[in-house]
Structure 1
Amino acid sequence: MFEIPKLKHTTSGNFFLLAGPCAIEGEDMALQIAERLKEITDKLQIPLVFKGSYRKANRSRLDSFQGIGDEKALRILQKVGETFNVPTVTDIHETHEAALAAAYVDVLQIPAFLCRQTDLLVAAAETGKVVNIKKGQFLSGAAMRFAVDKVRESGNEKIILTDRGNSFGYSDLVVDFRNLPEMQANQVPVVMDVTHSLQQPNQSSGVTGGKPALIETIAKAAIAVGADGLFIETHPQPSIAKSDGANMLPLDQLEGLMQKLIRIRQAVL
């Protein structure tokens, strides 16, 4: 069972990390990524939650990759958790998915576009799992208190909030770091979704773009202002990832980035 790290610090003094591929593409790939993530985070004493979407419901085009099958992908997430003794997180999109996903993972994630969906929040809360709510691109950090209230009033105090940038024009996002302390005012851990914050959505091609060269910049800034955790999508070869490859971090760059971020964390504690 995943226990939310204490606010501001974990037992190691580090931030915690939600990381993995955007989507579960297959068992071998998921286990390969999880093994490397486990090696890195154990070495650096960073609490890890393995992330993978079992289905991608929010796609620009009908022919975009959506998944390998719900239960097949969820079973892979379960195997990752059991093999490496790490908690797992996946996103849900409709109320009936809450109980389904909760049977396989430790954390249910509410996508940013759905953070105001009352029935979805209540369904996630009622599973008793940790609920990670992504802040809508159209909301301020302060406005997320209403999403927190919905989960708490449904009897669940196990809540994480995640920022993933704000809409800026039609095809870009910008990170307003005021959102992090505003969301921390709810007395819940706050995560910075580094890679999704660098998306360039709504491109004319129907394929989301991104600015992965700025991953380190956003991650460093988030740790400097006191983020409790980071969310980073990573893949051995982002260029061939079936979803969101344009803004993923190459897996071989993760350890070096984490080492830099730990030094910043130690400096600001």
Structure 2
Amino acid sequence: MKQFLTDLFADQSYDETNFFLIAGPCVVESEELIMEVADKVSGICKRLGIPYVFKASYRKANRTSANSFTGIGDETALQLVKKVGSTYKLPTTSDIHAHDEAAPAAKYVDILQIPAFLCRQTDLLIAAAETGKVVNVKKGQFLSGPSMKFAVDKIAKAGNDKIILTERGTTFGYQDLVVDYRNIPWMHEHGTPVVMDCTHSLQQPNQTSGVTGGNPQLISTIAKAAIATGADGLFIETHPNPAVAKSDGANMLKLELLEDLLEKLVKLRKAVL
């Protein structure tokens, strides 16, 4: 494990042979929701020896429809994410969408996540790098793994080598994504830990309803294949009731299904090491 990840998980007891997990609801809907998810997932991860990062977006800037939920207010949501981290002794992450969001968000979270559509935005990558926080860049749906070296270079040249790359599928037609698992070893060649986003890679974007669809029944398939092909970490958005989630409900994993999936993945990880 990279030293910056070891430092990130310093407050947790975990099995060093395990993958790490980035998980939580898509967006901060309420304090009750994020505390419920953090409590449940942290307990599971502690039992299974999985290093855990809590994830929730403080604002959703990229929505299909102008009528879609975007958040409860930046400052309020960021404070709640920080509260989760301090309450459960967890590192936290949220995505940012513009260069002027980097420094404010960095006051509250440990990892700045760069959305896939923005992975080529030079000013955004540099601003994230300059905070000194870990920067997790999601591979654009329009890019190959090898081409992500340019995102890595931008961050590294800004003086930050704490970089994670996340695979989240590649655009296939107008309303589907496919996962090319060659991207996992290819992105490892950039010298970074590689994460598989097991939920967004199953999105079905650009629906005429204005709400993104998904195939959550395939989350376990995506996750198992990622472990088998050498992913260092998994990204899974989860919610107690995805049917009523205010963002990305169509591709989130129901919270009650997470424990069984993680148990299987831990066994698989041990088998392929």
Matches within 5 A, 1:127-206: 127-206=131-210
Any idea what SS the aligned residue of 1:138 has? coil
CA contact (8 A) 1:199 1:247 kept: yes
Check whether the contact 2:179–2:201 (CA below 8 A) recurs between aligned residues: yes
Alpha-carbon separation, structure 2, partners of 1:175 and 1:4 = 25
Q: Give the secondary-structure state (helix, strand or coil) at the position aligned to 1:49.
A: strand
Q: State the distance in 1 between where 2:209 and 2:135 align.
A: 33
Report what 2:265 is aligned to: 261
Q: Give every structure 1 segment of 4 or more consecutive aligned residues whose post-TM-superposition deviation is greater than 3 Å.
A: none
Unaligned runs of 5+ in 1: none
Specify the code of the residue in structure 1 equivalent to 2:106: A
1:15 aligns with 2:19: yes
Instruction: State how far apart, in whole Å, the 1-side matches of 2:16 and 2:165 are.
Output: 21
Determine the structure 2 residue equivalent to 1:51: 55
- For 1:221 and 1:28, how far apart are their aligned partners in 2? 33
- Is 1:4 paired with 2:5? yes
Stretches of structure 2 that go unaligned for 5 or more consecutive residues are 8-13
Identity %: 65
- Residue 182 of structure 1 and its aligned partner are, at CA, apart by 0.5
2:70 is aligned to: 66
Q: CA deviation at 1:232?
A: 0.1
Give the number of aligned pairs: 265
TM-score by length of 2: 0.96
Once the two structures are TM-superposed, the CA of residue 11 in structure 1 deviates from its matched residue by 4.6
Aligned to 1:121: 125
Q: Deviations over 1:140-180 (max 9, x none)?
A: 00000000000000000000000000000000000000000
1:99 correspondence with 2:103: yes
1:27 corresponds in structure 2 to 31
3-state SS of 2:143 partner: coil
Kindly provide the CA deviation profile for residues 115-154 of structure 1, in whole angstroms up to 9, marking residues without a partner as x: 0000000000000000000000000000000000000000
> C-alpha separation between the residues in 2 aligned to 1:45 and 1:118?
37
The one-letter amino acid paired with 1:17 is L
Q: Please report the TM-score for the alignment, with normalisation by the length of structure 1.
A: 0.97
Opposite residue 201 of structure 2, the aligned amino acid is: S
1:263, distance to aligned residue in structure 2 (A): 0.9
Quote how far apart the aligned CAs of 1:187 are. Answer: 1.0
Q: Which among 194, 206, 211 is matched to residue 207 of structure 1? A: 211
Structure 1 residue 206 displacement after superposition: 1.0
1:204-242, Cα deviation, whole Å (9 max, x unpaired): 111000000000000000000010000000000000000
Q: For the structure 1 residues 185 and 192, does the alpha-carbon distance in structure 2 shift closer, same or farther, using more than 3 Å as the test? A: same
Q: Counterpart of 1:235?
A: 239
In 1, Cα distance between equivalents of 2:55 and 2:181: 23
In 2, Cα distance between equivalents of 1:241 and 1:259: 25
Q: Distance in 2 between matches of 1:242 and 1:268?
A: 37
Cα pair 1:14 1:45 within 8 Å, conserved = yes
Measured in 2, the distance between the counterparts of 1:237 and 1:185 equals: 38
Partner of 2:27, secondary structure, is coil
1:106 touches 1:130 (CA, 8 Å); kept in 2?
A: yes
Q: Is the 8 A contact 1:5 1:16 kept in 2?
A: no
2:26 maps to amino acid: C
Question: Contact 2:206–2:212 (CA<8 Å) still a contact in 1?
Answer: yes
> How far, CA to CA, are the matches of 1:41 and 1:122 in structure 2?
33
- 1:74-128 CA-to-partner distances (Å, cap 9, x unmatched) read 0000000000000000000001100010000000000000000000000000000
**Aligned counterpart, 2:10:** none
CA contact (8 A) 1:142 1:179 kept: yes
CA distance in 2, matches of 1:236, 1:259: 19
SS in 2 for 1:13: coil
Structure 2 distance, partners of 1:5, 1:164, is: 24
> Is the Cα contact below 8 Å between 2:15 and 2:50 reproduced in 1?
no
